Amino acid sequence: MSTSNNKSSVATLSGAASLEMLKQWVNETAQVTQPDRIVWCDGSEEENTRLIQQMLGTGELVQLNQEHYPNCYFHRSHPSDVARTEHLTFICSDHKDDVGPTNNWMSYADAKSRVWPLFSGAMRGRTMYVVPYLMGPANSPFSKVGVEITDSAYVVVNMRIMTRMGQVALEHMQQHGGGFVKGLHSLGDLSPDRRFIVHFPAEREIWSIGSGYGGNALLGKKCFALRIASTMGRDEGWLAEHMLILGIEDLRPGRKGEVTYIAAAFPSACGKTNLAMLVPSLGLRDQFRVFTVGDDICWMHIGSDGRLWAINPEAGFFGVAPGTSAKTNPNALATLQRNSIFTNVALTDDMQPWWEGLSPAPAHLTDWQGRSWTPDSKEKAAHPNSRFTAPARQCPCISPEFEAPLGVPISAIMFGGRRARIMPLVVEAQNWQHGVYLGATLSSETTAAAVGAVGVVRHDPMAMLPFCGYNMADYFSHWLGMPSRTSPDKLPQIFQVNWFRMDKEGRYLWPGFGENVRVLKWIVDRVRGRAEATQDSPIGKLPAEGAIDLSGLSLDADASNQLLHVDRTEWVDESERHRKFLEQFGSRTPQALWQEHAALRTRLGL
Ligand code: GTP
Ligand code: SPV
Ligand code: MN
């Protein structure tokens, strides 16, 4: 197996040596996987067209209605391969403790004996594509090169949308050296029994076999930009996070259009893409405008001014289709209208993509599995985790700073989850350490983004539960250590939000989507030091009465009270859940988190 080079040697490789390493790795991999041919991808338009034509021929892609969806295609993945598979995702290291209790650990010996043999001859009869890609803007000192070897043309055309692919990556590598992250991917036989997504953080390497879907197969995304990058961040003093990045421009008189940048971590399918592209509801549209820097992943470094600066390493959006509509997210709809790929959505009779929430259901559809569907059908027409892959530059609200090499300075960090109960609409942390506690104790109901039960509350610290490449307790320490790397008052203020609180009848109390700007407004005013005084609560600072602008919103008084209600009894239970969660990490749990836990208990009167 090719896990022989250790990270220190890779990091110091020259450009020429990096390229040499790449050629050698491709040769070695071809010897094992035995492809019929090897294609080095350059990311060009011609190459993309050729791959699409080829997939139209094999049926891997289906052409959509070109009048309404120019250059858009549809793909059906295998019905047992429709979401990330967390139980088949592993981190490989010397000791189980390196990865901690929230990750699946694999030993090097097991990787060699259980996983590596699956690659043997896996590409026979297939083409091996070599896909160099850059995570981050060209010319950014924070961008990093990856190369994915894959036998899936679908992966190649998706990687072309999601990353800066081809020549630009090789040029970056030649100029900057430092090697590249190796990602080896094969569809294998697509059986979940022979599906593994294995990460080698120390070697900066990924093996993925048996899945062609999203985060399992597009290795630049969760595998590199979060699991491998989080370990790079730990080693190099920066943060790789499952966060959107947005800029909110203040259009109010006297505010001179000042833009505040916010990064927000919500678990999968909990609202990042939607918040990143928010269109303020009518009443607040003349006060604010939102720009999208990123919708899923955020790399943050301390800048020369001591602030946290964020780049989006991706170049596209791999967004949840269901629920996306002209009402909820018009910017996403505009983005996906051309040059996009749709996976596991339903099709109208005139070959337009359709999903639940897009529009009233047509009288007839073809469902995501190719079956005839009518509104009487019991099952959903689109898979709940059906997705669009769309170029970020097509987004009408893409930030002018999207390609900025140094990124944007972050003023606020939000943590949020899907909680039907307990968690108020918004809470502000007292300080960085308390904010890290809010992030570390984040819980959310599971969604269709990963295989498994949906709607089960689980701890998902910083929305990174499935994406942290090392021991989560050490990750908490890394976060807690940020103030020591800069002047602490330069760090963003931290907030926790919940758009998903429900009333007793199971209806959302908060309208969400464009109305979330009301919460952003409070946050902007808080970080700019001009929001009204807050009331302290056991769990953090709540907006003072009337501080959230609810003008023009038809919320009854009861709903607005419930939204910000902190129920002591419920929170006593919740703090017990926190304790159990933190105990899992044994002596590795940072003392600072126990301090915060004790302070919470004291404030609850315990
Ligand atoms: P990943 O791509 O999996 O990381 O998801 P994400 O965090 O980007 O979530 P996304 O914005 O795609 O939203 C997921 C689902 O939640 C969609 O069906 C949305 O329509 C729904 N959603 C997003 N924001 C809100 C909100 O404010 N309120 C409610 N009720 N639903 C929302
Ligand atoms: C997520 O699940 O958080 C996603 C989709 O963004 S995937 O690329 O499959 O990870
Ligand atoms: Mn995500």
* pLDDT tens-place string over residues 152-189: 999 999 999 999 999 999 999 999 999 999 999 999 99
Q: Is 432 in the pocket of ligand 1 (CB under 6 A)?
A: no
As a 3-state breakdown, the chain gives helix, strand, coil percent values, each rounded to 5, of 35, 25, 45
Q: 318-394 falls under which CATH superfamily?
A: Phosphoenolpyruvate Carboxykinase, domain 2 (2.170.8.10)
| CATH of segment(s) 241-315+399-588 | 3.90.228.20
Gap from CA of 419 to ligand 1 centroid (Å) = 13
Q: What's the rounded mean pLDDT across residues 284-312?
A: 98
Gap from CA of 3 to ligand 1 centroid (Å) = 38
Contact (Cβ atoms closer than 8 angstroms) between residue 542 and residue 427: yes
Gap from CA of 384 to ligand 2 centroid (Å) = 13
Does pTM surpass 0.95? yes
Q: Is 444 in the pocket of ligand 1 (CB under 6 A)?
A: no
SS3 call for 410: strand
Ligand 1 atom nearest to CA at 296:
4
What's 489's DSSP letter?
A: G
569-573 own/partner pairs: CB under 8 Å, 24+ apart = 570/421, 570/422, 571/422, 571/538, 571/539, 571/604, 572/604, 572/606
Q: Whose CA is nearest to atom 7 of ligand 2?
A: 215
Domain residue spans in the chain?
A: 15-60+84-237, 241-315+399-588, 318-394
What are the backbone dihedrals phi and psi of residue 244, each rounded to the nearest 5 degrees, phi first? Answer: -80, 160
**pLDDT for res 532:** 73
**pLDDT for res 384:** 98
pLDDT at 414 over 90: yes
**pLDDT for res 11:** 79
| Dihedral sign, Cα of residue 93, residue 96, residue 100, residue 101 | positive
Tokens of 174: 């030649």
Q: What angle do CA 147, 386, 341 make, to 5 degrees?
A: 55
In which band, very low, low, confident or very high, does the pLDDT at 534 lie, cut at 50, 70 and 90?
confident
If one residue of 82, 221, 386, 454 were mutated to test the ligand 2 pocket, choosing by the most ligand atoms within 8 A of its CB, it would be: 221
CB proximity list for 119: less than 8 A, separation 6 or greater: 29, 32, 33, 184, 186, 207, 209
Gap from CA of 81 to ligand 2 centroid (Å) = 13
Distance CA 32, CA 29 (A): 5
Q: Whose CA is nearest to atom 1 of ligand 2?
A: 268
pLDDT at 338 over 50: yes
What fold, for 15-60+84-237? Phosphoenolpyruvate Carboxykinase; domain 1 (3.40.449)
How many percent of the chain have pLDDT more than 70? 98
**pLDDT for res 556:** 85
CB proximity list for 71: less than 8 A, separation 6 or greater: 338, 339, 340
Neighbours of 588 (CB within 10 A): 15
In which band, very low, low, confident or very high, does the pLDDT at 302 lie, cut at 50, 70 and 90?
very high
Q: Whose CA is nearest to atom 3 of ligand 2?
A: 268
**pLDDT for res 8:** 52
Distance CA 110, CA 159 (A): 29
Tokens of 359: 């529009």
Distance CA 301, CA 327 (A): 35
If one residue of 82, 84, 227 were mutated to test the ligand 2 pocket, choosing by the most ligand atoms within 8 A of its CB, it would be: 84
**pLDDT for res 4:** 45
pLDDT at 40 over 80: yes
Contact (Cβ atoms closer than 8 angstroms) between residue 43 and residue 166: yes
Gap from CA of 65 to ligand 3 centroid (Å) = 28
- Name the one residue in this structure whose structure tokens are 């959903």: 380
Q: Is 331 in the pocket of ligand 1 (CB under 6 A)?
A: no
**pLDDT for res 7:** 54
**pLDDT for res 536:** 84
Q: Calculate the alpha carbon distances from 533 to 413, 417, 526 in Å.
A: 20, 25, 9
Q: Whose CA is nearest to atom 12 of ligand 1?
A: 320
Residues in the chain: 606
pLDDT at 330 over 70: yes
Gap from CA of 549 to ligand 2 centroid (Å) = 33
* Residues labelled catalytic: 270
Ligand 1 atom nearest to CA at 320:
12
If one residue of 318, 320, 385, 414 were mutated to test the ligand 1 pocket, choosing by the most ligand atoms within 8 A of its CB, it would be: 320
In which band, very low, low, confident or very high, does the pLDDT at 1 lie, cut at 50, 70 and 90?
very low
What are the backbone dihedrals phi and psi of residue 254, each rounded to the nearest 5 degrees, phi first? Answer: 85, -5
Q: What's the rounded mean pLDDT across residues 247-262?
A: 96
Q: What is the dihedral of CA 164, 166, 169, 173, to 10 degrees?
A: 170
Ligand 1 atom nearest to CA at 242:
4
Q: What angle do CA 509, 510, 511 make, to 5 degrees?
A: 125
**pLDDT for res 504:** 92
